[in-house]
Amino acid sequence: MRHARARRGAVAGLLALAALLAPAAARGQAHVTGEWRLLGHTTPLNPIHVALLRTGKILIAAGSENDPTHTTFRAAVYDPQRGTFSVQTVPWDLFCNGMAALPDGRILIAGGNLRYNPFRGLKTTTIFDPAVERFIEVQEMARGRWYPSTTALADGRTMTFSGWLDTAGVPNEAVELYHVPTGWSPEFRAPFTPPLYPWLHLLPDGRVFLSGSHPESRLFDPVARTWSGVVARTRYGGDRRYGSSVLLPLRPEEGYRARVMIMGGDNPATDTAEIIDLSAPSPAWRALPPMSAPRVEMNAVLLPTGAVLALGGSAIDNDASTASLAADLFDPRTETWAPAGRMFLPRLYHSVALLLPDATVWVAGSNPFQGEWENRMEVYLPPYLFTTDASGRVVPAPRPSISGAPGRIGYDAPFTVSTPNAADIADVVLVRPGSATHAFDFEQRVVGLRFTAGSGSLTVMAPPTATIAPPGYYMLFLIDRRGVPSVARFVQLAQNPTNQPPRGAITSPSADVTIRAGQSVTFAGEGTDPDGSVARYSWVFPGGTPRTSTAAVPGAVTFSTAGTYVVSLTVTDDLGDNDPSPPFRIVTVEPGSFTAAIPSPANGATVRGTQTVTMTVSGGTAPFSYTLRVGSTQVFTQTTSATSTSFAWNTATLSDGSHTLTLAARDSAGQTATAAVTVTVANGSPGGLTLAITAPKPGATVSGTTWAVLWLESPEATAPYTYTLSVAGQTVWTQASSSRGPVSLPWETQKTPNGPQTLTATVRDASGRTGSVAVTVTVQNP
């Protein structure tokens, strides 16, 4: 295990991926089991949440990286071909979110981490644009989500479910549906409590299947927006937490029947696996052969051939000594497992795995303890990438290739793929790019396609419906008769494949702006559509008032709180397609003019007895530090997020006359402000009361609970009497009594710093006359 803090910044100047592979283990049976290779470069941040982008790069959303000491939140884009990382900071914490791809190829990110210990979820919704590699914040969810799942639906919406709330450490029981033009739907409550990171799969009939990790399986209907009762119970019967679930390939020759397999999980982990055929009249889970080892915190990756790679995890959760280094390959046609070689490193909590466009599997991460994570990465080359030559030596297998393919295709329509290997192609598939975290991939999906071979090309029939393959970007693979896949081409599967999307522009402001808190920015935009019309404008103003607008020219927006905000404009056309790369402006809001005041007592006031001093600040950024002095003596200090505070000032500790109170305030940005008032103390020294302290003695050393013994030596005093004990301006005890002595008042010295301290006692009688006495002692507590 590598320590995160010792490994950052280690990837500068890297070469191409192939040149960076560390020497592989001896190939031996690579054409049978595949081959594992350790990469020669490392990741500079904890790869907790990853998604394959339509560019072939990988988005890493790490946030605070499972480290509560982190005060900056990070993300990165990893280029597997170059072995390089582009790291950036994000103003909010994306740790433990849910990610799924939108139809336009951007990544929707639901929730994240609001706080540690106890953990709470963010309401924030983020979209990552791979075209410019930037994040924008869009409409908030109704409530927070930490550990939610997200799932792409057939109509282009995205479903999110579960995740801990922002207000309590319990799962969010509501489904919300996100639509790019309008944001989030109302909440649709489930009649049960879901697991965190529930396993959700869109089925060919349009419903969403909940396969775990709890033993009860259910269905959600996104049209009716209702949940079914329990449709099946797993044979395992326990919670397969941090096991995995996979929707097996949907193939036209099988009528696109939906089968889901689940495996591993629990602690101690299980090696068992199960399968359910949801096309059956009465679906039921049945047992599959077990994996080669128990796995919790595992990963399961769908390969273009339809096989499932099960890897990583351990028999005991986060115990590297029980790690499962041996990987397994599951064949859904024969329902059997085969060995898939051995990984180099244990892969435990927060490990991830993704299928890449070159048909290899990228594996990264492992974070069994906060602040420590594995920064080395490896790749798996499945056995289909190898063969043997005439001498029996293992060599790379010849691969079919794609020389041409459309960038955009529509449903139930033919398209042409150019390939010099047309006569040798046995299978054509679409594979949805993965999005993996916490042992589950929200997005992976393999859809078989019908095709006919011609001379130098294939005529391929796109999926018939969006329930079989929801709209978005897919990897198009050709697989030859030997089971060898091509390198993939990305294609976009769209409801309106010939429609050109609209484009938006922000005309005001013309560039990013910097303002002070409380100021406004005037916004204006426009939209164009080359083959239609703009039907809707959708502005999002994080941190602003208003927060959203549907006007082309929304006008002035006020930003009251210091911070960095990304304002975006998304336009939608008359066919429902949106701008795939919306424009944005960064609004940097600096703290407002920072001021301090003492509203009470007023300047020039006459005060006596105990006077409440009120202190306020305005502008600036919380938290604020307040320090109050009377003359040169500090009597009060406090740090708080509140813009006002108060202090009970015992004026009897001072001589009568003029005294100045000075407030020094500081905000979290380092801004300072001061305020002062001068008052007259008039406690009436002539005719005042005489008070004596007989214990503790001057110069005494005190500890623990010390009792101050007081005597009121003025026989003319009028009962009842109020005795007050204070240290350094802070009242430690007040007591009413009809006795002039002895009166004993407790002082818990543990709450006072060690060292010399002045203990002041005051008394006020029923007629308002006062007296005071002070003694200096030394506090010495262990």
Same domain, 490 and 524: no
Q: What is the pLDDT of residue 687?
A: 53
Is residue 730's pLDDT more than 70? yes
Counting residues of the chain whose pLDDT is more than 70, the rounded percentage is 96
Query: Residue 272 in contact with residue 310, Cβ under 8 Å?
Result: no
Is 51 part of a structural domain of the chain? yes
Phi and psi for 314 in degrees, rounded to 5?
A: -155, 165
Please give the pLDDT value at position 497. 97
Is the pLDDT assigned to residue 453 strictly greater than 80? yes
Distance of CA 535 to the CA centre of its chain: 33
**Same-domain check for residues 456 and 549:** no
pLDDT confidence bin for 11, thresholds 50/70/90: very low
**Which pLDDT does position 14 carry in this prediction?**
28
Is residue 567 domain-shared with residue 668, that is, in the same domain?
no
Asked which of 241-250, 254-263, 351-360, 741-750 is least confident by mean pLDDT, the reply is 741-750
Q: Could you give the CA distance from residue 243 to residue 501 in angstroms, rounded to a whole number?
A: 40
533 and 488 part of one domain? no
**Would 179 be classed as within a structural domain?**
yes
Greater confidence (771 vs 345) lies with 345
pLDDT, position 729: 80
Residue, of 595 and 8, whose pLDDT is higher: 595
Q: Is residue 757 part of a domain?
A: yes
Residue 10: pLDDT band (50, 70, 90) is very low
What mean pLDDT do residues 709-714 have? Answer: 90
- Condensed to tens digits (0 to 9), the pLDDT of residues 577-604 reads 999 999 999 999 988 788 999 999 999 9
Q: Mean pLDDT across the stretch 69-97?
A: 96
**Domain identity same for 338 and 320:** yes
Q: What is the largest CA-CA distance in the chain?
A: 120
127 φ/ψ angles, rounded to the nearest 5 degrees: -125, 130
What are the pLDDT digits (tens) for 283-329? 999 999 999 999 999 999 999 999 999 999 999 999 999 999 999 99
User: What CA–CA distance (Å, rounded) separates 747 from 562?
Assistant: 43
**pLDDT for the residue numbered 17:** 41
- Looking at residue 215, which CATH number applies to its domain? 2.130.10.80
686 pLDDT above the threshold of 50: no
The torsion angles phi and psi of 651, rounded to 5 degrees, stand at: -70, -15
3-state class of 32 per DSSP? helix
- In this predicted model, which residue has the larger pLDDT, 432 or 768? 432
DSSP-derived secondary structure letter, 372: B
Residue 401 and residue 363 in one domain: no
Structure tokens at 496: 């309106």
Please, which residues bridge with residue 36 across strands?
Answer: 380
| Domain coverage including residue 457 | 397-429+446-494
User: Would 441 be classed as within a structural domain?
Assistant: no
Q: Tell me, yes or no, whether 144 and 248 share the same domain.
A: yes
Over residues 365-382, the pLDDT tens digits come to 999 999 899 999 999 999
| Dist CA 523 CA 545 (whole Å) | 12
| Spatial distance between the Cα atoms of 491 and 409, rounded to a whole number of angstroms | 7
Q: What was the pLDDT predicted at 154?
A: 98
Residues 107 and 222 in one domain: yes
Under 8 Å between Cβ of 162 and 151 = no
Could you give the CA distance from residue 648 to residue 613 in angstroms, rounded to a whole number? 6
299 shares a domain with 171: yes
Percent of the chain with pLDDT over 90: 86
Instruction: Answer yes or no: do 410 and 534 share one domain.
Output: no
Among residues 304, 306, 361, 312, the alpha carbon closest in space to that of 335 is found at: 306
DSSP 527-565: EE-TTS-EEEEEEE-TTEESSEE-SSS-EEEEE-S-EEE
Instruction: Give residue-wise pLDDT tens across range 228-258.
Output: 999 999 999 999 999 999 999 999 999 999 9
pLDDT class for 169, splitting at 50, 70, 90? confident
In a domain, 437, yes or no: no
Half-sphere exposure for 148 (CA within 13 Å, toward CB)? 39
The contacts of residue 166 (CB under 8 Å, 6+ apart) are 114, 120, 121, 122, 123, 143, 144
Q: Is the pLDDT of residue 655 over 90?
A: no
* CA 656 – CA 685 distance, rounded (Å): 7
Task: For residue 710, tell me if it sits in a domain.
Answer: yes
Amino acid identity at 329? L
How far is Cα 80 from Cα 332, in angstroms, rounded to an integer? 29
Q: Is residue 78 one of the residues assigned to a domain? A: yes
Q: Minimal CA–CA distance to 94: which of 142, 45, 57?
A: 45
Same domain, residue pair 54 and 72: yes
Residues 21 and 136 placed together within one structural domain of the fold:
yes
How many whole angstroms separate alpha carbon 559 and alpha carbon 542?
9
The per-residue pLDDT for 690 is 87
Whether pLDDT at 4 is above 50:
no
| Residue 607 C-beta-side C-alpha neighbours within 13 Å | 28
Choice among 56-60, 567-571, 666-670, 749-753 with the minimum mean pLDDT: 666-670
Cβ atoms < 10 Å from Cβ of 393 = 9
Number of domains, the chain: 5
State the pLDDT confidence band at 7, using cuts at 50, 70 and 90.
Answer: very low
Q: Which of 411, 403, 419 is nearest to 474 (CA)?
A: 411
φ/ψ of 751, rounded to 5, equals: -90, 5
Q: Which position has the token pair 């396609």? A: 449
Grade residue 464 by pLDDT with cuts at 50, 70 and 90: very high
Per-residue pLDDT band for 684 (boundaries 50, 70, 90) equals low
Angstrom distances, CA of residue 81 to CA of 57, 78, 399, 476, 767: 8, 9, 18, 19, 87
> HSE-up of 736 (CA within 13 Å, CB side)?
4
User: Residue 413: inside a domain, yes or no?
Assistant: yes
CATH of the domain at 657: 2.60.40.10
Q: Which pair of tokens denotes residue 20?
A: 């960076």
**Tens-place pLDDT, residues 484-520:** 999 999 999 999 999 999 999 999 999 999 999 889 9
Neighbour order of strands in the sheet with 595-600:
595-600, 610-618, 644-650
Is residue 529 within 8 Å of 499, Cβ to Cβ?
Answer: no
The average confidence (pLDDT) of the chain is 93
Which range (103-117, 337-351, 642-656) has the least confidence?
642-656
